[in-house]
């Protein structure tokens, strides 16, 4: 059997939706045993859609390699079982409503008192304290509060990011925070409470537009699929499709002019002498190069870009992504089990000297009896 980094680590997760399940699935990928505690009706992400042969796409993505245990936390029996699970855990992760775990008596202070070596991770919308502490938080709302929509979209209309980016950001910081706390515990023997808020997690990712606006006097413009502060950088029409081009520096700009659009004279134009001026004069620049690119086939353009070692990409659909030749060549797909049969799933992106754990997606309550018999003395 593969020796994985988190083999032997037990995680108990009071999780729902995206942020906490994303964090714990990364832990499971590394070998941790993740016991997912659900209510009788299950994690509500189970009902988000029915696209995967009747299962929700969100749930399939986030919950492989976990054990599902159903507990009624409103009953003394269920709460006692949860406390015994926590007493035997290495890690607890929770993203219930603000104050919910404290009202149940299984908050960080109570849990660490019983299990001092515990790493207890809380994920919330806005964190503890402050006027937003009890405010409901969902991904789109955090995208708004962190200013992401102000820099995403077109000049006319802001647009949300098409994935749950605030949840994912919070989940990733919880994941890395848990690993850090486990590393510290290996030296000190003691656990701790780590807290991650969705606002602060996504806020960290907003560092570039923040500094640009705070010290530049104006925010980055919303420029659709083009880059707000680099030009040319974005989608360009060819005669039979679209190519995305990313010019990173003046050397690449020179090669682009000479080898791609065959206009070396553009490098002498003072309006395009450096990136700041190319952005300032973006309209004139694109009016010059777009007709050239539109006269060429997409393959001709990408061949020229590749020859000039200039980054480029094809706009792919999800069907195209599923058939991506690079992922296929690198063997990045596996079959995992589920209550609805085998499902094709992407291998985790971290490649080490271990095989990632990719067990099945659990049915609701599938592991309740076995897990409680193991952890709970009165079962």
pLDDT of residue 379: 55
Mean pLDDT of 316-327: 92
In this structure, the strands spanning 343-346 and 333-336 are: antiparallel
- Annotated active-site positions, please? 227
What stretch(es) of the chain map to CATH 3.40.50.10540?
10-206+327-375
**Is the pLDDT assigned to residue 318 strictly greater than 80?**
yes
Beta strands in the chain (DSSP E): 10-14, 33-38, 66-70, 91-94, 119-124, 192-197, 233-238, 241-246, 311-314, 333-336, 343-346
Q: Per DSSP, what are the bridge partners of residue 334?
A: 345
Q: Is the alpha carbon torsion for 334, 66, 374, 123 positive or negative? A: positive
What stretch(es) of the chain map to CATH 3.30.1540.10?
233-316
pLDDT of residue 345: 95
Which tokens belong to 10?
A: 């037990």
CA atoms within 13 A on the CB side of 109: 5
Which tokens belong to 250?
A: 């003046």
Comparing 3-7, 219-223, 325-329, the range with the smallest average pLDDT is 219-223
**Is the pLDDT assigned to residue 1 strictly greater than 80?**
no
**Is the pLDDT assigned to residue 223 strictly greater than 90?**
no
Mean pLDDT of 223-248: 91
CB atoms within 10 A of CB 102: 13
Of all residues in the chain, what percent carry a pLDDT higher than 70? 99
Model confidence pLDDT, tens digit, residues 95-129: 999 899 999 999 999 999 999 999 999 999 999 99
Model confidence pLDDT, tens digit, residues 16-53: 999 999 999 999 999 999 999 999 999 999 999 999 99
Q: Classify residue 123 by burial, with Cβ atoms within 10 Å: 0-12, 13-18, 19+.
A: buried
CATH number listed for the domain at residues 10-206+327-375: 3.40.50.10540
Model confidence pLDDT, tens digit, residues 284-305: 999 999 999 999 999 999 999 9
Comparing 97-111, 113-127, 174-188, 222-236, the range with the smallest average pLDDT is 222-236
**Is the pLDDT assigned to residue 269 strictly greater than 80?**
yes
3-state secondary structure 144-183: HHCCHHHCCECCCCECCCCCCHHHHHHHHHHHHHHHHHHH
In this structure, the strands spanning 91-94 and 119-124 are: parallel
pLDDT of residue 237: 94
pLDDT bracket for residue 282 (50, 70, 90): very high
Considering the domain delimited by 233-316, tell me its CATH architecture: 2-Layer Sandwich (3.30)
């Amino acid at each position: 059997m593969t020796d994985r980094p988190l083999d032997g680590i037990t995680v108990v997760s009071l999780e729902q939706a995206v942020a906490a399940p994303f964090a714990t699935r990364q832990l499971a990928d590394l070998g941790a045993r993740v016991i997912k505690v659900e209510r009788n009706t299950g994690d509500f992400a189970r009902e988000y859609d029915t696209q995967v042969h009747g299962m929700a796409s969100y749930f399939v993505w986030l919950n492989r390699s976990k054990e599902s245990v159903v507990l009624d936390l409103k009953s003394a029996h269920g709460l006692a079982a949860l406390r015994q699970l926590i007493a035997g855990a290495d890690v607890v992760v929770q993203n219930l409503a603000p104050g919910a775990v404290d009202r149940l008596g299984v908050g960080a202070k109570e849990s660490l008192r019983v299990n001092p070596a515990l790493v207890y991770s809380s994920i919330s919308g806005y964190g503890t304290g402050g006027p937003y502490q009890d405010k409901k938080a969902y991904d789109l709302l955090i995208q708004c509060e962190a200013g992401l929509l102000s820099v995403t979209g077109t000049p006319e209309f802001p647009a949300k990011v098409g994935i749950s980016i605030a949840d994912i950001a919070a989940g990733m910081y919880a994941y890395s925070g848990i690993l850090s706390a486990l590393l510290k515990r290996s030296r000190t023997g003691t656990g701790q409470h780590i807290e991650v808020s969705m606002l602060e997690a996504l806020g960290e990712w907003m560092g570039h537009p923040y500094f640009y606006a705070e010290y530049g006097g104006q925010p980055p413009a919303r420029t659709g699929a083009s880059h707000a502060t680099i030009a040319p950088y974005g989608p360009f029409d060819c005669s039979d499709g679209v190519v995305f081009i990313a010019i990173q520096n003046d050397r690449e700009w020179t090669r682009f002019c000479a080898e791609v659009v065959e206009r070396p004279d553009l490098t002498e134009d003072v309006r395009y002498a450096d990136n700041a001026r190319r952005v300032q004069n973006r309209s004139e620049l694109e009016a010059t190069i777009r007709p050239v690119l539109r006269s060429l086939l997409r393959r001709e353009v990408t061949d020229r870009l590749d020859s000039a070692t200039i980054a480029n990409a094809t706009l792919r659909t999800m069907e195209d992504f599923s058939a991506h030749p690079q992922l296929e060549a690198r063997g990045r797909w596996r079959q995992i089990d589920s209550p609805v049969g085998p499902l094709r799933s992407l291998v985790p992106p971290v490649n080490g000297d271990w095989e990632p754990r990719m067990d099945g997606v659990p049915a609701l309550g599938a592991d309740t009896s076995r897990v409680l018999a193991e952890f709970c003395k009165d079962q």
